[in-house]
Structure 1
Amino acid sequence: MKIKEFIGSTVLDKNANVVGKIDNVDFNTETGKIEKITLTLQINIFSRDELEISFDDIATIGAYVILNKEITQEEEAEEEAESDAETVEVKIEDE
């Protein structure tokens, strides 16, 4: 798989929940190894957030990128959701 095919791939957590899409890839220029991947999390049509994960957090790469972690999103109170700026906390849980 070429890197340009990898960017934009849909990312699923270990429970097959859609997390977001691959936005950027950081790699070590000396070794060529991918170190960090930036995901764009889709919160709603007007709001997005980003999450950095380690390449080691990926279980498989194919039609989807599947993580070996569970990603949960905890939204703020309903009053804040109605405002223009929405805050989302992202929690990564290891097994």
Structure 2
Amino acid sequence: MKIRDFLGSTVLDKKAYEVGKVDNVDFNAETGQIEKITLTLQKNLFSKDELEIEFDDIATIGAYVILNKEIPKPQDEETVEATIEVDDE
């Protein structure tokens, strides 16, 4: 796999929850081994968070990057209920 194919890959935790996408990869300059990856977590259209994952926390790399640990889900945004009444005239 080439690095350009790896960047942008979808990352799943061990319970198959979609965590984010690979944004960056940190290599050891002497060995060439991956030390950690940085994920972009999409919060909404204009807001993104990042999460760093150590290479030891990666179970497999293929069509998806699958982690060998669970990542806590972000808390849902507060929702507001609304009722709309429609006149049938």
Name the one with the larger strand percent.
1
Q: Aligned partners of 2:74 and 2:4: how far apart in 1?
A: 31
Unaligned segments of structure 1, at least 5 residues: 80-95
Q: TM-score, normalised by structure 2?
A: 0.81
Unaligned segments of structure 2, at least 5 residues: 80-89
State the match for 1:64 in structure 2.
64
Q: Aligned partners of 2:74 and 2:59: how far apart in 1?
A: 24
Q: Aligned partners of 2:7 and 2:77: how far apart in 1?
A: 33
Cα distance, 1:76 vs structure 2: 7.6
State the match for 1:41 in structure 2.
41
Q: 1:77 to 1:66 in 2, by over 3 A?
A: closer
Cα distance, 1:17 vs structure 2: 0.6
Deviations 1:1-56 (A, max 9, x none): 01110010000000001000000000011111110100001112221100001011
Kindly name which structure, 1 or 2, has the bigger radius of gyration based on alpha carbons: 2
Name the one with the larger helix percent.
1
State the match for 1:22 in structure 2.
22
Q: TM-score, normalised by structure 1?
A: 0.76
State the Cα RMSD in Å. Answer: 1.6
State the match for 1:13 in structure 2.
13
Counterpart amino acid of residue 43 in structure 1:
K
Counterpart amino acid of residue 65 in structure 1:
V
Q: Aligned partners of 2:33 and 2:62: how far apart in 1?
A: 18
Counterpart amino acid of residue 71 in structure 1:
I
